[in-house]
Structure 1
Amino acid sequence: MTNGLGLEAFIHIVVNLLCLGLAWWALQSFRFDLFVKNPKSKQAAALKVICALALGYLIARFFLDYFQAVQLLPYLF
């Protein structure tokens, strides 16, 4: 029983890290300098990290929820 939970936790961690990396990579093309006063400041860098974390979390939640729903579909019939 706990082996399945450990594997599920590992998959969640990997998916979250991959989505965080994807979000960080995608945000590199976004022009933050148009929206912040000083784009070289620590605050602007913190904003970029926070945006990457939030976007990565949302992407990971979408995929994890989708795969969980797919696994539960056989119980429909």
Structure 2
Amino acid sequence: MDGSVLALAGWEGLLAIIVTLGCIAFSWVILQELNFDKLVRNPRSARARLLQLLTAIALGHLVARFVLDYWTWTRAINWLFRSG
């Protein structure tokens, strides 16, 4: 394989990691506004925090997957309009 292809794959992987971690952090901040008092018995317990963390990871992953897929789709659409 060409070195530039491998480098491009590496950059895309790094971008995916950054976007995913950013979306997880954003989800965590948004979930802080949710009133967990009505959802769990002890909202300050370690289990409740773990539930909040896992929810942030799941939600952040879904949002990141959408953003990355959208990015891929918009780049793929360019091939429709290239004259070849």
Range of TM-score over shorter length: over 0.9
CA deviation after TM superposition for structure 1 residue 75, in Å: 2.1
Q: In the alignment, does 2:57 pair up with 1:53? A: yes
Identity of aligned residues (%): 39
Q: In the alignment, does 2:64 pair up with 1:32? A: no
After superposition, where does 1:1-77 map in structure 2 within 5 Å?
1-77=5-81
CA deviation after TM superposition for structure 1 residue 14, in Å: 0.5
Give ranges in structure 1 of 5+ residues lacking alignment.
none
Q: Which amino acid aligns with 2:61?
A: Y
CA deviation after TM superposition for structure 1 residue 33, in Å: 1.0
CA distance in 1, matches of 2:44, 2:8: 45
CA distance in 2, matches of 1:17, 1:35: 26
Point out 4+ residue stretches in structure 1 off by more than 2 angstroms: none
Two-structure CA RMSD over aligned residues (Å): 0.9
Q: Which amino acid aligns with 2:23?
A: C
Find the structure with the greater CA-based Rg: 2
